[in-house]
Structure 1
Amino acid sequence: MPCITFFLLIFCGQQGYVVLKEYKKASDKLSSAENTLTPLWKQTNKFTLFTPALNQTTATAPVKAPLAAEIEGIIRSDDAWLSFAVIKTPAGQRSYREGESLTGFDDAWIAEINQDNVVVNYGGTPQVLALKKPDYFRGDAEKSPAPSTKDPGADNLHLDDYLVLKPFFEQGQLEGFNINPRNASSFFSQSGLQKGDVVVKVNTVDMTKAAEAKKIVASWSKMKEAEVVVRRHAHLENIRVNVLNN
């Protein structure tokens, strides 16, 4: 009996030592974990009411400079394909129809041809170019013309100072140009012209063909004299107009 009791004490002591050792290990691990964790109340978050704004740059499209172009003449028709404009650019002077690119510019094309101006799409932006001599085709020849302010004896007088050309269409076809007085001068009647005359030829140039007529339209303001053939009623008349003889 004393032997059994002795062995029980040894066994219990050994088990107690094992339990104490395992408890110590667990306690050490827990303590180490607590040291590594930072309480939420100790965690500091930097907070500012206002944060610096990021530098924002707004990209703006470059502004296109006005086109270096002049409208020398316009022939306008209800059918867009019959309309054309004579435009002068640094690359030269030539005629254009709607949709054609403007010579000398990478991103410019003819958007519209109107009675007294041409709209050019230049880099996605429309630019309106007014006719240099809008009285050519304004369609207001029936209105009372303004008296000329130029000296009749001046050397800079040209046909354009006395006579206005306006395209005349029949059934969509160019049949010539109406010729009307620009002012109250007697030059029109003294030259042998009459109201209703239609110019069909100027200096042998056929004015019923748009491709040829555009040359006369472009140079009319520079000419001092011309041989014109007009259709008057059912016959043709040859008339010489000369500002030097006015």
Structure 2
Amino acid sequence: MKKMIIDIDSQIIWLHKHSQQLLCAGVFLPTLLLFICSVNTVCESIRTANATSISVTAVTDKVQVNLNMDDGSHEVSLAAAKPATTTVAPTSLALTLTGIIASDDRVFSQAIITSQGGPRNYNQGEYIEGLSNVFIEKIDINTVSINNNGTSQLMTLLDEDPTPSSQTQEQTKKARFLSDFIISNPVYENDKLTGVKLYPRGAASRFTRLGFKFGDIALKINNHILSEPEEMKAALNELGTLGAAQFTVLRNSNEKLINASTMDVE
């Protein structure tokens, strides 16, 4: 018992001697622990943020790669879908494109084509006379596309270049008569002959240099009244022998006098 009291007294004395140190330790240790916990929390946050950043970067890179791959696939798809440019070959059929009546509305454009049955006007979609599997596919200003048994083929008017080739110049020199520049088709109204519609034979520029325009209807050639069948035949025969003639044409509902001469074309 006495020894126990001595031990307690010794502990009290020790506590008294070290009370200041214990007091400091009691304040410092919790603070130190709190600081350590805070540091751990901050470090953990930094690690989490870094991990998230790495993950986002990886995902972003993946998205960019996917987008690039997607763009590339689209480019390939578009390239594959783009039709290849094809050249339409000239037709080998025994057909001659002698004139084109061009209109802003292609439905009303006409191609003047000479076949075995002679010259005739054709609209887009019409079949060529005598050729059951050949029809007019498209009519442009200087060319006509025909469909020959499912194959597109091209017919072209004579070159209208201001400096024509020697072949074209030779053809022009040989063309001495009005019939070499003009195609004429009879016009009927209520089954009655009223005149002759004029079209260009060959290059349209030669037709206009004669003084004619698309749509002109000849009512009279020299002294021949074209509403009379016999007079019309005589007048058209003369066009094959004459280099100049006087035409009375109906243009825009008005009569107009034209003195046409092959000298104006050469």
TM above 0.5: no
Calculate the TM-score normalised by the size of structure 1: 0.41
- Larger fraction in helix: 2
The normalised TM-score by structure 2 is 0.38
Structure number with greater Rg is: 2
